[in-house]
Amino acid sequence: MTGMGSIQQFEVRLGDIASARSGDKGNAVNIGVIANTIEIYRHLQEMLTSDVVDRFLKPLGGSPCKRYELPNLMILNFVIPNALGGGGSRSLRIDSQGKALGQVILEMKIPVHAKIFHAIHSVETKEALHAR
Amino acid sequence: MASKVKIGNAQGFWGDNIDAPARLVAQQPDLDYLTLDYLAEVSMSIMAIQREKDPTLGYAVDFIDVIRSLAPFWKKGSKVKVVCNAGGLNPVGCARACQMALREAGCLGKRIAVVTGDDIIDNLKDAPERSYFNHMETGARLSSILPTIVTANAYLGSKSIATALRQGAEIVITGRVADPSLVVSCCIAHFGWNLGDYEKLAGATVAGHLIECGTQVTGGLYSDWLDIEDPADIGFPLVEMGSNGSFVVTKPPNTGGLVNRKTVVEQLIYEIGDPSRYLSPDVTVSLNALAVSEIGQNRVAVTNAIGSPPPDTLKVCATYRDGYRAEGTLTIFGKHAVKKAKRCGEIIIDRVRKAGYVLDKTLIECLGTGACAPSILSQEDLYETVLRVTVADVRKEAVLRFSKEVAPLVTSGPPGVTGYTSGRPKVRPVVGYWPCLIPNEEVFPSVTLLEVS
């Protein structure tokens, strides 16, 4: 498993390589995804397109997703109109303001290069050793 | 004039920790300004309901308790000034209550300013056909909800608050203002910035955005939340603003939580649309060159906000009555818990239908199965779930009928049905949110000064 050709052979949770925060604007939700490193940001720029996010969150009923890029802060910001079932006061959903959707997106599986995969893997090993 | 001004926030919404303002002032005695943000999108309608019952109300009544809690500090010589939007629908009533509380506390001579002019409901009622008043998201015409409109307030900017502070006000009470403007106005008053200094206003707007939700920047909602120290005593945030608009985000010493690059960046993107065009009544902000860096423990520097002129319209937050809703919950434990819970939900809706009401909107959720991510991340093989049934209808009686159909499942439902202790679901009015615009030149903010004597 060498070289960049191995990209499809590894998968991680988005939450292993990024963090997220979500909130509402009326019936739209914004989900900011913050990459842990600039290398991961570049990778997510390629993999985490607005189409991919739209497909993942399709059951919410909102669309089309628009993506904004902030490389200076390693943030990809996704804005999805009509995703909250009516918004803050009118939505019947338990998560009427989309506060949980940042955590939802972190459960997405992202194909990664061997290098990113092993970097996470080595951090996890270190944490496990530390815990002992 | 000091080269830095310290501005804190100790109230991120109406219902936040009521001890926070006094604690922040005690923990950070050199604080120059204390900002308190009370108004969410639908707060005005809650205030409208309260004002209907008592015309002296219609503001964030918690704020009067906050003022009482701050009085001892002022009597001991604290110079901290308070800037808040607690006035809601009735800033003058709020200021009078505040004046009375300070009089009773013996804080004589204190100067209170009231900013009014945000209430523009008559503009909407007079010309509902204007395209400015169409719903910003859906494009729907205002006339469709005009008969049920309750409130309409323009988001005012910093100018009037800054004027009030420059005239010597020590407490400024507003109705609807743009949340970051609470901070921006303090900077304008302190540094004497020109209203055309867009780079500086942009920096202060970012600062205001970062602290307006209180502890969301000091460890609240933080990705590594489980690791934060002393979360029960989480500190509220403050910014140390420089005269050029760059600033440091921090929190008082010896408080819980933390401020690091990640807590700041995560809050920065909270409720942001296009980050190259963050609109406020003061300035249009771009975050495209913003730099965020840790410069010490619990100290994060933020520089390079880009500013350009604000739009020629103000955003308006209007609210309207939109029927009634209620939600009922039951806990189900045992094998096939989720299947049983769903059936209970269907029985409830069916019984309401048989009683003569086809409800406008119904939703059956099984909490624990991934209800926050419906059909995205589901886990149905559970031994325990909380059934949540939520309904909405224009007819109050239909929702009332629903509220009576939840409890009967306690004896007619599956084995292991429990958790019914909070009584019948409460029937509540639904407040619809109607965001629209109004040209700047049609809104006339004004400032009134009161003295505590």
Instruction: Give the number of other Cβ atoms within 10 Å of residue B421's Cβ.
Output: 6
The minimum CA-CA distance between A15 and chain B, rounded to whole Å, is 9
pLDDT at A1: 41
**Beta-carbon contacts below 8 Å between A and B:** 125
Residue carrying the six token digits 């602290």: B211
Of A56, A70, A81, the CB nearest to B137: A81
Q: Given phi > 0 = left and psi -120 to 50 = alpha, else beta, which region is B230?
A: left
- DSSP assignment of A52-104: HHHHHTGGG-----EEEEETTTTEEEEEETT-STT-TTT--STTTT-TTHHHH
10 Å CB burial of residue B220 (0-12, 13-18, 19+) is buried
Nearest CA to B259 out of B236, B291, B226, B289 is that of B236
Residues of B whose CB is below 8 A from A101: 372-373
Residues of B whose CB is below 8 A from A13: none
Q: Do B374 and A59 touch (CB under 8 A)?
A: yes
Measured distance CA(B434)–CA(B436) in Å, rounded: 6
Q: Tell me: pLDDT of B1 over 80.
A: no
Q: Tell me: pLDDT of A50 over 80.
A: yes
pLDDT-derived band at B155, boundaries 50, 70, 90:
very high
pTM: 0.95
Q: Do B288 and A72 touch (CB under 8 A)?
A: yes
The minimum CA-CA distance between B81 and chain A, rounded to whole Å, is 30
Residue carrying the six token digits 């009928």: B401
Residues of B whose CB is below 8 A from A59: 374-376
Of A72, A77, A95, the CB nearest to B372: A95
Q: What proportions of chain B, in percent to the nearest 5, are helix, strand and coil?
A: 30, 25, 40
Of A20, A70, A107, the CB nearest to B377: A107
Measured distance CA(B137)–CA(B115) in Å, rounded: 29
pLDDT at B98: 98
Residues of B whose CB is below 8 A from A30: 269, 271-273
pLDDT at B41: 77
Which whole number is the average pLDDT over B388-406?
98
Interface mutation vs chain B, best among A31, A68, A69, A79, most B CBs within 10 Å: A68
The minimum CA-CA distance between B25 and chain A, rounded to whole Å, is 29
Measured distance CA(B213)–CA(B211) in Å, rounded: 5
Q: Given phi > 0 = left and psi -120 to 50 = alpha, else beta, which region is B399?
A: alpha
Share of chain B above pLDDT 70, in %: 100
Instruction: Give the number of other Cβ atoms within 10 Å of residue B446's Cβ.
Output: 10
Q: Tell me: pLDDT of A3 over 50.
A: no
Q: Tell me: pLDDT of B42 over 90.
A: no
Q: Given phi > 0 = left and psi -120 to 50 = alpha, else beta, which region is A68?
A: beta
Q: What proportions of chain A, in percent to the nearest 5, are helix, strand and coil?
A: 40, 25, 35
The mean predicted confidence, pLDDT, of chain A is: 89
pLDDT at A124: 62
Residue of A nearest to B373 (CA): A104
The minimum CA-CA distance between B222 and chain A, rounded to whole Å, is 8
Q: In this structure, which amino acid lies at residue B224?
A: D
Q: Compute and round to an integer the Cα radius of gyration of chain A.
A: 16
Which whole number is the average pLDDT over A29-52?
97
Q: Tell me: pLDDT of B434 over 60.
A: yes
Residue of A nearest to B434 (CA): A26
pLDDT at B52: 83
The minimum CA-CA distance between B335 and chain A, rounded to whole Å, is 24
Which whole number is the average pLDDT over B59-79?
97
Higher pLDDT, B309 or B48: B309
* Residues of chain A that touch chain B, judged by Cβ-Cβ distance less than 8 Å: 19-21, 23-28, 30, 32, 34, 56-57, 59-60, 68, 70, 72-75, 77, 79, 81-82, 85, 87-90, 92-95, 100-101, 103-104, 107
pLDDT-derived band at A119, boundaries 50, 70, 90:
confident
Which whole number is the average pLDDT over A6-30?
90
Measured distance CA(B9)–CA(B31) in Å, rounded: 10
Q: Tell me: pLDDT of B48 over 90.
A: no
Share of chain A above pLDDT 70, in %: 86
Q: Do B287 and A70 touch (CB under 8 A)?
A: yes
Q: How many residues does chain A have?
A: 132
pLDDT at B40: 83
Q: Compute and round to an integer the Cα radius of gyration of chain B.
A: 24
- What tens digit of pLDDT does each residue of B75-131 get? 999 999 999 999 999 999 999 999 999 999 999 999 999 999 999 999 999 999 999
Measured distance CA(B262)–CA(B236) in Å, rounded: 17
Q: Tell me: pLDDT of A132 over 70.
A: no
pLDDT at A128: 62
Measured distance CA(B360)–CA(B394) in Å, rounded: 7
Q: Tell me: pLDDT of A122 over 80.
A: no
Q: Tell me: pLDDT of A127 over 90.
A: no
CA angle B204–A88–B148, rounded 5-degree value? 105
Q: Which helix (H) or strand (E) holds B119?
A: none
Residues of A whose CB is below 8 A from B271: 23-25, 30
Residues of B whose CB is below 8 A from A75: 265, 268-269, 275
Nearest CA to B438 out of B296, B320, B264, B317 is that of B317
Nearest CA to B154 out of B133, B169, B182, B139 is that of B133
Measured distance CA(B131)–CA(B116) in Å, rounded: 25
State in Å, rounded, how far the first CA of chain A is from the last one.
30
Which whole number is the average pLDDT over B378-384?
94
Confirm if B251 and B300 have CB atoms less than 8 A apart.
no
Confirm if B348 and B409 have CB atoms less than 8 A apart.
yes
Q: Given phi > 0 = left and psi -120 to 50 = alpha, else beta, which region is B15?
A: left
Q: What is the number of alpha carbons within 13 Å of residue B445 lying toward its C-beta?
A: 26
The mean predicted confidence, pLDDT, of chain B is: 96
Residue of B nearest to A19 (CA): B223
- What tens digit of pLDDT does each residue of A64-98 get? 999 999 999 999 999 999 999 988 778 999 999 99
Which whole number is the average pLDDT over B327-349?
97
Residue of B nearest to A25 (CA): B271
pLDDT at A8: 61
Q: Tell me: pLDDT of B51 over 60.
A: yes
Please report which residue ranges of B241-291 form alpha helices under DSSP H.
261-268
Measured distance CA(B150)–CA(B58) in Å, rounded: 12
Q: Do B269 and A104 touch (CB under 8 A)?
A: no
Q: What is the dihedral of CA A68, A71, A75, A76, to 10 degrees?
A: 30
Q: Tell me: pLDDT of A24 over 70.
A: yes
- What tens digit of pLDDT does each residue of B279-333 get? 999 999 999 999 999 999 999 999 999 999 999 999 999 999 999 999 999 999 9
Of B42, B269, B276, the CB nearest to A75: B269
